[in-house]
């Protein structure tokens, strides 16, 4: 190895240490490592010396790679599914209402693993990230208990078929190019499915103790602002005829169902078995975050009809908090008599008063100085009223644009078309995701502002920088040197060589991209097969599975990085959960592959 390879090795080790110590965000640390490589490379070239480190153009190219752009576009597609409520239509039938961590993991792992056997892992994880978030809120489960198992499940399913992940396709094409018979659609399943089952069992059992239980820094119940809000059950909607328990209205985080108004009757202390009827008025008391979630539920609508009289279209509205001042002309009047909507072009959704429940309907509440109002209004309301003496404080509520439930099936059709195009029609996933993202915008399933805000830029930055670091590991000869050294100690024993091949590929995929690891190891594997004069199939299968099954670092697979932030994980969490899982996959593969395809 040259000195540049040693430099890369040192920087990578420092990067791993810095990530483990959480010195800074993963995107900042990866960019810093990349900056060191670029600085050394450009300095050498400036004085006329050759360098094996990547050039600026090669690094920049990684930030515009098809995979990275695809991930960004998929955030937009998922935003369309969320804003229309299509995600709940898609996931509710098999997710239900889990009450425990085990139940939540089981309901997630099985569908995610099954779907990712036929679809690309990245859109599956992107689709299920908001589902995980929703389950965590409703079941009061730590996000760290669900996001990593969900991402790993997508990887499990990817090795079950040849089309499950791009790595399988890369190795299959390499086999064909080398004049060897490639795998059929289901041939890899003889090893892939046992690996997937072993992985699911591992996550359902041991992850209970291995995964951290990190709660948000501020509990939902800590918020002193308690609102009284009324919602109405839509006639013919999805909640009509369901019990409170079935509708998911029991044990809502930070929200309490006080009573139901049914015609002239009042039902206090609502039983979980009480069945909802059309036009029931449900009175809740809770915090603003939970009120926002309540407003997004299919089958419920605001009990006040003032919302439907607002001039602004749904896509331009949001929820806004405003504190009534003693100079407000409506103080001492109830909301209806004061003609609040006509005066401010805003509808009062909920009212908070010192954390106490305010009896009566929203329109009958008499405003007092200090009342906190939750309004639905045009997004310009904040700018218009910020300096008004009618309100002490005006601020918008994040992610509170009204749901566009009427567009839900449009969003699902777009998603179905994207899935069909990429998995059955053999259209490139980037092209399919681009068309799907544009379709979401054109059909107004998501607005331009929502689309831009939905993109997780730190995730994309980390993925792009990680690809550049992988290129440095490859171009300086570090990867080849480590690989050659490991292969040379295996001798002529086919089982030992197969185990070494898997182990080296597994280590490489934790440091470089899965496809790069597969491409690096394929010629070495075929050279080993030729030297030992054995069947190439178990070696090819080992590369396929080892290159995909990288769980011990956030860089092992791009879906690992996607859940790194949302799950609240540390680098050490991946080591603790991933190392035993990596070894389990290795044992299953090395044990089964020679039995399926004898040497």
DSSP 32-96: HHHHHHHHHHHHHHHTT----SPPHHHHHHHTT-HHHHHHHHHHHHHHHHHHTTHHHHHHHHHH-
Number of residues assigned to the chain = 599
In a domain, 311, yes or no: yes
Does residue 22 register a pLDDT over 70?
A: no
Q: What is the residue range of 268's domain? A: 226-286+299-396
Please check the confidence at residue 242 and state whether its pLDDT lies above 70.
Answer: yes
Give yes or no for residue 218 having a pLDDT over 50.
Answer: no
Residue with tokens 């805003």: 346
**Residue 38 pLDDT greater than 80, yes or no:** yes
Q: CATH code at 282?
A: 3.30.70.1450
Kindly report the CA angle at 90 between 86 and 92, in degrees rounded to 5? 110
Distance between CA 525 and CA 394 in Å, rounded?
65
d(CA 387, CA 397): 18
Q: Specify if 388 maps to a domain.
A: yes
564 within 8 A of 571, measured Cβ to Cβ? no
Q: What is the DSSP letter of 22?
A: T
- The mean predicted confidence, pLDDT, of the chain is 81
Please, which residues have CB within 8 angstroms of residue 251's CB and are 6 or more apart in sequence? 138, 140
Q: For residue 355, is it left (φ>0), alpha (ψ between -120 and 50) or beta?
A: left
Residue 423, in any domain of the structure: no
pTM above 0.85, yes or no: no
SS3 396: strand
Residue found under tokens 């006329």:
48
Q: Is residue 148 part of a domain?
A: no
Q: Greater confidence, 575 or 246?
A: 575
Q: Is residue 196 part of a domain?
A: no
Nearest to 281 by CA among 263, 299, 294, 297: 263
Tens of pLDDT along 454-480?
A: 887 877 787 678 777 777 877 887 767
Domains of the chain: total: 1
The band of 222, judged by pLDDT with boundaries at 50, 70 and 90, is very low
Segment 322-341, tens digit of pLDDT: 888 888 888 888 888 888 88
Q: Is residue 555 part of a domain?
A: no
Average pLDDT over residues 446-450: 84
Residue 37 pLDDT grade (very low, low, confident, very high; cuts 50, 70, 90): confident
* Three-state secondary structure call for residue 422: helix
Task: Flag whether 269 is in a domain.
Answer: yes
Does residue 326 lie in a domain region?
A: yes
Report the pLDDT value the prediction gives residue 579, as an integer from 0 to 100.
Answer: 93
Q: By percentage, how much of the chain surpasses pLDDT 70?
A: 89
Name, of 16-20, 150-154, 383-387, the range with top average pLDDT: 150-154
pLDDT digits (tens, 9 = 90+) for 529-565: 877 788 999 999 999 999 889 898 887 777 888 888 8
């Amino acid at each position: 190895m040259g000195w540049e390879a040693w430099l890369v090795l040192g920087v990578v080790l420092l990067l791993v240490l810095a990530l483990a110590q959480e010195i800074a965000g993963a995107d900042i640390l990866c960019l810093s490592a990349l900056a060191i490589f670029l600085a050394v490379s450009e300095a050498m070239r400036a004085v006329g010396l050759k360098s094996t480190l990547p050039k600026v153009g090669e690094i920049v190219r990684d930030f515009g790679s098809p995979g990275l752009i695809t991930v960004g576009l998929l955030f937009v597609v998922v935003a369309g599914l969320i804003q229309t409520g299509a995600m709940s239509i898609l996931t509710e039938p098999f997710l239900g209402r889990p009450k425990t961590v085990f139940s939540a993991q089981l309901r997630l792992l099985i569908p995610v693993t099954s779907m990712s056997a036929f679809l690309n892992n990245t859109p599956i994880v992107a689709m299920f990230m908001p589902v995980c978030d929703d389950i965590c809120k409703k079941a009061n489960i730590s996000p760290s208990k669900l996001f990593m198992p969900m991402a790993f499940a997508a990887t499990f399913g990817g090795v079950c078929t040849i089309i499950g992940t791009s790595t399988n396709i890369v190795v299959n094409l390499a086999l064909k190019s080398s004049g060897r018979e490639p795998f059929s659609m289901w041939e890899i399943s003889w090893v892939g499915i046992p690996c997937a089952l072993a992985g699911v069992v591992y996550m359902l059992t041991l992850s209970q103790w291995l995964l951290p239980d990190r709660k948000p820094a501020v509990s939902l119940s800590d918020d002193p602002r308690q609102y009284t809000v009324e919602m109405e059950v839509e006639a013919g909607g999805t909640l009509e005829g369901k019990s409170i328990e079935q509708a998911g209205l029991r044990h809502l985080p930070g929200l309490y169902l006080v009573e139901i108004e049914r015609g002239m009757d009042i039902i206090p202390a609502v039983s979980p078995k009480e069945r909802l009827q059309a036009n029931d008025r449900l009175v809740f008391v809770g915090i603003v975050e939970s009120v926002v979630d309540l407003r997004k539920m299919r089958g419920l609508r605001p009990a006040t009809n003032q919302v439907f009289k607002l001039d602004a279209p749904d896509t331009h509205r949001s929820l806004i908090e405003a504190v009534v001042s003693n100079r407000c002309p409506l103080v001492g009047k109830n909301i209806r008599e004061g003609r609040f909507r006509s005066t401010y072009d805003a509808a009062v959704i909920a009212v908070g008063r010192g954390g106490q429940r305010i009896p009566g309907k929203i329109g009958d509440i008499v405003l007092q100085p200090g009342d906190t109002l939750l309004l639905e209004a045009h997004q310009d309301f904040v700018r218009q009223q910020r300096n008004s003496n009618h309100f002490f404080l005006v601020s918008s509520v994040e992610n509170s644009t009204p749901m566009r439930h009427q567009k839900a099936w449009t969003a699902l059709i777009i998603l179905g078309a994207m899935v069909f195009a990429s998995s059955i029609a053999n259209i490139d996933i980037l092209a399919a995701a681009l068309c799907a993202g544009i379709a979401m915008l054109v059909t107004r399933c998501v607005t331009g502002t929502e689309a831009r805000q939905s993109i997780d830029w730190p995730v994309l930055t980390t993925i792009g920088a990680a690809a550049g670091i992988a290129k440095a590991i490859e171009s300086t000869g570090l990867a080849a040197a480590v690989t050659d050294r490991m292969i040379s100690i295996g001798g002529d024993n086919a089982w030992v060589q197969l185990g070494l091949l898997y182990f080296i590929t597994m280590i490489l995929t934790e440091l470089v991209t899965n496809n790069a690891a597969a491409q690096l190891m394929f010629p070495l594997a075929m050279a080993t097969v030729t030297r030992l004069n054995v069947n190439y199939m178990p070696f090819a299968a080992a590369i396929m599975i080892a290159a995909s099954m990288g769980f011990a670092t956030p860089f092992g697979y791009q879906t690992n990085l996607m859940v790194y932030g949302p799950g609240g994980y540390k680098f050490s969490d991946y080591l603790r959960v991933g190392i035993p899982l990596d070894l389990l996959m290795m044992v299953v593969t090395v044990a089964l592959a020679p039995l399926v395809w004898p040497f």
